[in-house]
Structures are given as C-alpha cells and as structure tokens.
Amino acid sequence: MVKTKYNRCEYDSCVYFKQNDDLTYLLLYVDDTLIVARNKTHMQKLKAQLKKEFDMKDLGEAKKILGMKITRDRGSSRLWLSQKNYILNVLERFNMAEERPITTLLVGHFKSSSKHCPQLPEEMSRVPYASAVGSLMYDLVCTRPDLAYAISIVSRFISNLGSNIGKQ
C-alpha cells in the first residue's frame, strides 16, 4: 500500500489512507477489507489495484466488518456500528443469555464484596471469567466506550476473582 502512495495511519496500523481530491481509506484486518471513499472512481481504482495483487471478492456495499453490523443513512450522512449479535453470542457462550438486563451500568460508588463472588468452585467454573472480560473489552474498544468504567472494575479481579473481592 505504501508503494502505491497510501499512508499508514500512525494510530492504527490496519488503516491506510490516500489524499486525492478527496480522502480514500483502506482498512485491512487479516482477511477483512473495507474501502471508504466518497469518490466511486477512487474506490474502483483501488479495488482493481488490490485484485491485481490478491485473490479477493468484491462483496458490494459493506454490511459488516469484524463482526460489527454497519447501518447507514445516506440522506443524513450518518453511519452506525452495532455489535448486538456479537453481544448475544457472548452472553450465550458464557451461559448468561437468560440473565436480566439492567439500564444502569456500574455506579461510581459501587464496591465489590464477597457476596458478589461465586461461593462454590462449580459456580466459578460456570463462567470463564478472563475470557468473558476479554470479550467485553473487544466490545468496549469497537462500539461501547460507555462500558469502560465497569470493565475496569471487574478486570481488577481477573486472575483470581474469589480471593480479590473486596481488596480494592
């Protein structure tokens, strides 16, 4: 991409961009590619260039990237990313699909205590805690920055939930 005069983003090494009369962005992550451009000619030119170098399929207008659903409203020039299906899969994987949802995230004065801790080893193994926190962190980074405080609290107990409760 650098040889074709695309610049690599200094903040995210998976993002390349080129300043023409308009900006063209290329997002590469393993085998997922997303091209963002206002100018369709620039987009088609980049696709042709990539097809010369790689075996790739043009799937048309993007509807998903990295498991995130893309919804756009061209009239208002708005774009939304959603990880709803990802979250539902995470809840299912960690046996939490039937849990009651809450409308308030973790409040600032929340203090963990032993009553929040599983009491029996089989309760502890019910949810692979570190994997669950990691899954939530992916959600946080992509679409849910509002989860940052709650995840920072629960991740304090990632190595041994039971012995760390209440020792903040």
Q: Please check whether residue 145 lies inside any domain of the structure.
A: yes
Q: Please check whether residue 67 lies inside any domain of the structure.
A: no
Count of C-beta atoms within a 10 Å radius of residue 46:
21
Q: Please check whether residue 2 lies inside any domain of the structure.
A: no
Task: Note whether 89 and 157 are same-domain residues.
Answer: yes
Task: Note whether 49 and 102 are same-domain residues.
Answer: no
Task: Note whether 160 and 89 are same-domain residues.
Answer: yes
Give the model's pLDDT for residue 112: 67
Give the model's pLDDT for residue 8: 94
Give the model's pLDDT for residue 116: 62
Task: Note whether 53 and 101 are same-domain residues.
Answer: no
SS3 19: strand
Q: Please check whether residue 129 lies inside any domain of the structure.
A: yes
Structural domains counted in the chain: 2
Give the model's pLDDT for residue 108: 66
d(CA 150, CA 167): 16
Task: Note whether 158 and 88 are same-domain residues.
Answer: yes
Give the model's pLDDT for residue 26: 92
Task: Note whether 88 and 141 are same-domain residues.
Answer: yes
Task: Note whether 88 and 160 are same-domain residues.
Answer: yes
Alpha helices (H) along 12-160: 40-53, 84-93, 121-126, 129-142, 148-154
What is the Cβ-side half-sphere exposure of residue 151, based on CA atoms within 13 angstroms? Answer: 17
Q: Which 8-state DSSP code applies to residue 75?
A: T
Domain hosting residue 88, numbered range: 84-164
Give the model's pLDDT for residue 16: 94
Those residues whose C-beta lies under 8 Å from the C-beta of residue 108, and which sit 6 or more positions away, are 149
Chunked into runs of 10 residues, the chain (168 residues) has average pLDDT values of 88 90 88 88 89 87 90 90 91 87 72 64 68 87 86 73 49
**Residue of 26, 15, 32, 36 lying closest to 66 (CA atoms):** 32
Give the model's pLDDT for residue 124: 62
